[in-house]
Structure 1
Amino acid sequence: MIQDPFKPAKRVAGQRQDVWSIVNEAAAAYNQEHGAGSVVNMGQGFFGYNPPEFVLDAARDALGKVDCNQYSPTKGRPRLKQAIADAYSPFFGKKIDPEKEVTITTGANEGMLSAFMGFLEPGDEVIVFEPFFDQYISNIEMPGGKVVYVPLQPPKDGATKTTSAGEWTLDMKELESKITDRTRMIVINTPHNPVGKVFSRDELQAIGDLCVKHNIIILSDEVYDRLYYVPFTRAATLSPEVANLTLTVGSGGKCFYCTGWRVGYLIGPEHLIKYVSAAHTRICYSSVSPLQEATAVAFEQADKHNFWEESKTEMKGKMDRFNEIWKELGLPYSDPEGGYFVLVNLAKVKLPEDYDFPPHVASRPRDFKLSWFFIKELGIAAIPPTEFFTDANAHIVEDWLRFAVCKDDEVLEKAKERLRGLKKYIQ
């Protein structure tokens, strides 16, 4: 039998329509009916405003330098690696070696792919907590890894009253039961997207102890590490034994409001980071030179501009102002401990029984219907979090939606005004 040369590989074939295309489809239809830009986008986690001027100036300056318009060293520009080492050494309680313990990647996502590519053989297992950033799954499966899921459980009364994101809990016994002799890595995300949970020191220590016991690599996704509103512990700082197993993932784009720059980085011991660097070299060789240079300058100058504290204060202010609408509507939400996402429980919202959902939405959990309804009837986009769960555990969050608050204040106010249109549907 002659094979079809155009048949796609299994890793990309037969996938159901993803959440981003569904939300964008509904938003495009709303904009077509009401005018371009009519939808208030509280869905995707991109910033609605520019980086500060000192960061933009650094990018403009970098474009004028000859070497910044050519290939950078594959492991990253020395200036950026040094800037990251200087910025993170105080947090790690040790002097980070920029040449041996830091590698620069094309966004944090490619950095995580490089970590998986660097350590996974076909059949190796990676434990991921639900809800998860959806890119984790394909990144693990690309090199032949198997994803093993452990769900976070929401607060028992999260549907009836506002609770802390910290009350989403991990069952440690269930976690340990999922460890096998094929378990190679565990992925932690703190501050967590979409929950907004900052894992406590005790929680991280319990996970770290398991990883030391079973010799499992920790991939700690800490891309929101500058936006925490409760005490924040970095996994690599728990103990020398845990640090020896930990790769920390960071994001210049998240730090400096420039997610489109795609500048990520990993920090870890040399015996781990060198294999991440080797995989990164094979995936994309090197990352964008002028934006690496600009990110280096941003790290170097951030303290002088009091950027970190102002950034945190500003985002917490946006979060608090936006969440006033849920108090007004009497809808419970999960009060975030970090990041810029908030989960809202909409069990009290009664969707019209005869509402005409398209088949690809009608077949999905209730949160997809809520998301579609919010766009079509209220003109506001939010993300259904069941996309970040397996089908078996989607029921955990089918009454929730995720909103991103990293937008201009006028956008947040417009969103709040439109959300008042929910009043007639709340029971």
Structure 2
Amino acid sequence: MNSELATPRTPVLASRLPEVGTTIFSVMSALAQKHGAVNLGQGFPDFDCDPGLVDAVTAAMRAGHNQYPPMPGVPALRQALSAKIERQYGHRYDPDTEVTITAGATQGILTAVLAFVHPGDDVIVLEPCYDSYGPAITLAGGRVVRVPLDPASFRIDFDRLAAALSPRTRAIIVNTPHNPTGTAWPADDRRRLAELLRPTDVLVLSDEVYEHMVFDGAPHASVSGDAELAARSLVISSFGKTYHVTGWKVGHVAAPAPLMAEFRKVHQFNVFTVNTPMQHGLAAWLAEPARYLELPAFYQRKRDRFRAGLAAMRFDLLPCAGSYFQCVDYSRISDLPDQAFCEWLTAEVGVAAIPLSAFYAQAPQRPLVRFCFAKTDATLDEALRRLARL
């Protein structure tokens, strides 16, 4: 064949994720931009981090911290994290062998799944759940086993969870405070999970990125705070959520040394390591605990301001015990399906939200949407002004 006459052709391939398209977060953010809507959809702050944190990163750059750090992360940051976790939850992770810095929490979740889930393994997720869990399991060749949370309270249904466990179950992914519903585990749920898993070899992947956003004086029920669960868990969290720098994509994972050794085998070929000067800056920033200990009160004020405004409208508010998300039932306003309602709300009212169906494999019957209140007071007030038209 004359190569000059051949028509260029891209090979037809079978997708690894045939059911996955553009995430609802990107879709709704683009729609918000198109219509000039207040974006309470995607979960990120619209305010800056403390300028001192930027200064700390700049200082690290000027000090020459611009080359590869050690694969698990800058030692000073791992040491600071180990001390912080021990101080807060009473469990000490060895900073050399049990703490790894990741390129955001989502990378930590994917790496954990790839490290431990073999083809044919079952992984339990509690629905509704963050939308990266299922694709991560699928990429590893595992089978997603969806166990619904209680539809009224969004608490764990332990009878259903027990029924879902089998000899094929490799892991369960849990999340508290919970995205999207804003629930937060009581310590009793942590204890019951430990009892349920005691006779098994099931691992726990605990997504705790909102650990510093638990309200009304309640403590965060980290699995690190239960010795039995900590022994079988990888605990994943996020500097981006804690310090209002979601675009930096820096997270961390803590786990017992045997689990962390396997995690690092994948991590080193997944990203190898993470932005050096930001790690040094964050290490300096962790030296002052008030910077994260004051976060619950900071976000509770925003929650209360937003809920007070919504309470005067025809939304029915779900409880919000943690995270920076408020879910509402809009059935007194519209009978549209939740995604159609969010699209209408964005285009006609000028406020973007996220449909809760995005967090399910099959859309639930209850008409619920999620608002993010990690915004300036001016942004929240403008959103409430627009929503008052309803």
Report the 3-state secondary structure (helix = DSSP H, G, I; strand = E; otherwise coil) of the residue aligned with 2:174: strand
In structure 1, what is the Cα distance between the partners aligned to 2:194 and 2:55? 41
Q: How does 1:131-146 map to 2 (within 5 A)?
A: 131-146=128-143
In structure 1, the gaps of 5 or more residues are: 31-37, 156-166, 352-364, 423-427
User: Residue 162 of structure 1 aligns with which residue?
Assistant: none
In structure 1, what is the Cα distance between the partners aligned to 2:110 and 2:102? 10
Q: How does 1:66-145 map to 2 (within 5 A)?
A: 66=64, 68-145=65-142
User: Residue 310 of structure 1 aligns with which residue?
Assistant: 294
In structure 2, what is the Cα distance between the partners aligned to 1:14 and 1:20? 16
**Which of 4, 21, 26 lines up with 2:31 in the alignment?**
26
1:210-265 deviation digits (Å, cap 9, x = unpaired): 22221110111111111111232111322x33221011111111111101111111
38-47 or 326-335: which moved more?
Answer: 326-335
CA contact (8 A) 1:236 1:247 kept: no
In structure 2, what is the Cα distance between the partners aligned to 1:290 and 1:231? 32
User: Residue 381 of structure 1 aligns with which residue?
Assistant: 352
CA contact (8 A) 1:331 1:348 kept: yes
1:24-67 deviation digits (Å, cap 9, x = unpaired): 3422431xxxxxxx32010101111111122121111122122x
Q: How does 1:245-264 map to 2 (within 5 A)?
A: 245-264=232-251
**Is 1:279 paired with 2:230?**
no
17-26 or 108-117: which moved more?
Answer: 17-26
- Tell me how far 1:14 sits from its aligned partner: 5.0
1:122-171 deviation digits (Å, cap 9, x = unpaired): 1111100001100111111111111100111232xxxxxxxxxxx32222
User: Residue 57 of structure 2 aligns with which residue?
Assistant: 59
**Is 1:193 paired with 2:179?**
yes
Report the 3-state secondary structure (helix = DSSP H, G, I; strand = E; otherwise coil) of the residue aligned with 1:69: coil
CA contact (8 A) 1:153 1:396 kept: no
User: Residue 4 of structure 2 aligns with which residue?
Assistant: none
User: Residue 45 of structure 2 aligns with which residue?
Assistant: 47
Report the 3-state secondary structure (helix = DSSP H, G, I; strand = E; otherwise coil) of the residue aligned with 1:169: coil
In structure 2, what is the Cα distance between the partners aligned to 1:341 and 1:289? 31
1:173-232 deviation digits (Å, cap 9, x = unpaired): 111111111100011100101111111111122122222221110111111111111232
In structure 1, what is the Cα distance between the partners aligned to 2:194 and 2:12? 43
CA contact (8 A) 2:91 2:225 kept: no
CA contact (8 A) 2:240 2:251 kept: yes
Aligned alpha-carbon RMSD (Å): 1.6
**Which of 193, 207, 218 lines up with 2:193 in the alignment?**
207
Report the 3-state secondary structure (helix = DSSP H, G, I; strand = E; otherwise coil) of the residue aligned with 2:371: strand
250-259 or 45-54: which moved more?
Answer: 45-54
**Is 1:333 paired with 2:321?**
no
- Tell me how far 1:106 sits from its aligned partner: 0.5
- Tell me how far 1:326 sits from its aligned partner: 2.0
1:142 maps to a residue whose letter is L
More helix per residue: 1 or 2? 1
1:359-400 deviation digits (Å, cap 9, x = unpaired): xxxxxx810011001100011110011010111xx2244x11
- Tell me how far 1:11 sits from its aligned partner: 1.9
| Number of residue-to-residue matches in the alignment | 380
In structure 2, the gaps of 5 or more residues are: 1-8
User: Residue 175 of structure 1 aligns with which residue?
Assistant: 161
- Tell me how far 1:272 sits from its aligned partner: 0.7
In structure 1, what is the Cα distance between the partners aligned to 2:26 and 2:101? 30
Q: How does 1:343-358 map to 2 (within 5 A)?
A: 343-350=327-334
In structure 1, what is the Cα distance between the partners aligned to 2:14 and 2:103? 24
User: Residue 221 of structure 2 aligns with which residue?
Assistant: 233
**Is 1:401 paired with 2:369?**
yes
2:225 maps to a residue whose letter is T
In structure 2, what is the Cα distance between the partners aligned to 1:53 and 1:41? 24
CA contact (8 A) 1:209 1:242 kept: no
**Which of 312, 326, 337 lines up with 1:366 in the alignment?**
337
CA contact (8 A) 1:325 1:419 kept: no
CA contact (8 A) 1:212 1:245 kept: no
CA contact (8 A) 2:61 2:277 kept: yes
User: Residue 277 of structure 2 aligns with which residue?
Assistant: 290
1:298 maps to a residue whose letter is W
1:50-94 deviation digits (Å, cap 9, x = unpaired): 11122121111122122x211111111111101101111123324
1:289-347 deviation digits (Å, cap 9, x = unpaired): 1111111111113x2xx322432211100111011122101421112111100101101
Report the 3-state secondary structure (helix = DSSP H, G, I; strand = E; otherwise coil) of the residue aligned with 2:137: helix
1:237 maps to a residue whose letter is G
- Tell me how far 1:17 sits from its aligned partner: 4.8
In structure 2, what is the Cα distance between the partners aligned to 1:14 and 1:95? 41
